[in-house]
Amino acid sequence: MPRARHIAGLALIVGAAMAIAGVFADWPVYRHRDEGEAVIKVSFDHQGARIAPCRALSEEELAALPAHKRTGQDCPRGRVPVTIEVAMDGRPLYAATEAPSGWAEDGPSRVFGQAVVSAGAHDLVLRLRDTARADGFDHEKALTVTIAPAQVLVIGFDSENAAFVIR
C-alpha cells in the first residue's frame, strides 16, 4: 500500500512539473525585436596593406643571409588598421577602425558590428580604408536595399575581389 502512494505522489509531482513547463513554453510571449525591425550586421576579416613596401635586397645582403632566407626581398610584417564606415539614409550607422591581429600585427583585422534598423527600403553607403592614406577611402559602394521585418542583412568584404558582399 505505501508503494502505491509513492507512485501516485511521484506521478502528481511529475504532472505538476510538466504543467508548469507547458505554461512557460508559450507564456509570457517573448519577442527578440519589435515588429517592423531588422538587423544589419557587418562581419568580415580583411588584411590591410603592409606598413611599408617591400624592398629588394642587394647581393651583399643576400649573401649574408642563410640559404633558406634568401627570398630577394625584405618585407615588413606589420599591417595597417582597417577602417569601415556604414551610413544609412545619410546618417552614420556603424564606424570602426580595427587593428591587425597577431603578435607582430601582421594578421587580418576582424570587423564585427550590428545595428537594429527599421524594415523597408534604405540607401546604404559602405566605405573601407585598408591602406595608410590619411583621408578618403579605398573602397566605396552605394546601394539601395529593402529589408524585411526580422531580416538579418549581413555586410561582408571579399578580399580576393576587393568588393563588398551583401547577404
Residue 124 lies in a domain: yes
Contact indicator for 51, 65 with CB cutoff of 8 Å: no
Is the domain of 17 the same as that of 86?
A: no
73: in domain: no
The structure's pTM equals 0.75
User: Are 88 and 118 in a shared domain?
Assistant: yes
Q: Quick one: 149 and 86 in the same domain?
A: yes
Q: For the chain, how many structural domains are there in total?
A: 2
Let me know whether 107 and 131 are in one domain. Answer: yes
- Whether residue 90 is found in the same domain as residue 160: yes
Asked, for residue 149, whether it belongs to a domain, the answer is yes
Compute CA 43 distance to the chain's CA centroid, rounded to the nearest angstrom: 2
- Residue listed under C-alpha cell 649573401: 63
In a domain, 62, yes or no: no
- pLDDT at position 108: 96
Q: Which of 117, 111, 129 is nearest to 92 (CA)?
A: 117
Q: Domain for residue 9, yes or no?
A: yes
Cis, bond preceding 108 (omega within 30 deg of 0): no
Does residue 111 belong to any structural domain of this protein? yes
Here the CATH number for the domain that contains residue 123 is 2.60.40
DSSP bridge partners of 43: 112
Same domain for 97 and 123? yes
Which of 47, 156, 28 has its CA nearest to residue 102?
47
For the chain, the straight-line distance linking the first and the last C-alpha, in angstroms and rounded, comes to: 66
Domain that holds residue 91: 37-50+79-166
| 108 is a domain residue | yes
pLDDT string in tens for the chain (167-residue length): 678 888 998 999 999 999 999 888 887 777 777 889 999 999 999 999 999 888 998 888 888 888 888 888 888 889 999 999 999 999 999 999 999 999 989 999 999 999 999 999 999 999 999 999 988 999 999 999 999 999 999 999 999 999 999 99
